Amino acid sequence: MEMSEEITYENDGTFSNQQRRTGGNLFRLVFLSFGLLCVLQASLNISLRFTLYKTGDTEDILKNLTEERDELKRKLAVFPKYSRQGWEHFSGSYYYISSSKKSWQDSRSDCQQRDPDLLIINSKEEQEFIRRFQKPIWIGLTDRDTEGVWKWVDGSPLTTRFWTSGEPNSYQGRNEDCALTNYHNYEDSWNDAVCDNENFWVCEKNMSH
């Protein structure tokens, strides 16, 4: 027999104390699991380093291990911050999905105030992850500096691309210098658009940076 947990509410529509405790326990469990994975990774790295570099420079090995330890501490500190603020995690990055619409520049400014920048799509898997939100979304891609030369907001050139057939095209001579991804039933869903148009947007915090 399937068992389900009944969600109860207080008179004012908020979650009961029991539900809040359940949510808190779930968050602690996820955080502890993440921490345990980091500790296991660090332990494995230490074992491998000393196994592979028994005859190497001990000082260099310890320096590298210290740097890896500091990086793990940074990730552990950031994890609860973004998780509690409603960001979604996927493949080493955190994503903030807007609930309102803004121009491309205002969308980017919002992201920068939150610490990261507009979304940069680097793989087919990341493109599929974004498409599941089922709405047109500004991405951090523009050719405003040089017409026809598309670059990401971090200055990197466009290599992996998912343009819809016939895009980008500056439709009917309009100055379409900013890119967005639409929700379609096919993978290639990008098109260029007028930067002053208002759309939803996604901020990305890459944890490797």
Please report, for the chain, the start and end positions of each structural domain, with discontinuous segments joined by +.
Answer: 17-84, 91-206
Q: What are phi and psi of 58, to 5 degrees?
A: -60, -35
Query: Residue 178 pLDDT more than 70?
Result: yes
What pLDDT does 37 receive?
59
Mean pLDDT confidence for 22-29: 50
Per-residue pLDDT, averaged over 35-62, amounts to 58
Q: Give the DSSP H/E element, type plus range, for residue 192.
A: strand 190-193
Helix (H, G, I), strand (E, B) or coil at 139: strand
Mean pLDDT of 37-49: 58
What pLDDT does residue 156 have? 95
**Banded pLDDT at 77 (limits 50, 70, 90):** low
CB of 200 closer than 8 Å to CB of 96 = no
How far, in Å, CA of 124 to CA of 129, rounded? 9
Is residue 146 predicted with pLDDT exceeding 70?
A: yes
Q: Distance from first CA to last CA of the chain, Å, rounded?
A: 47
Checking if the pLDDT of 131 tops 70, the result is yes
What's the whole-model pTM score? 0.62
Q: What is the second-level CATH architecture of the domain 91-206?
A: Roll (3.10)
The one-letter amino acid code at 137 reads I
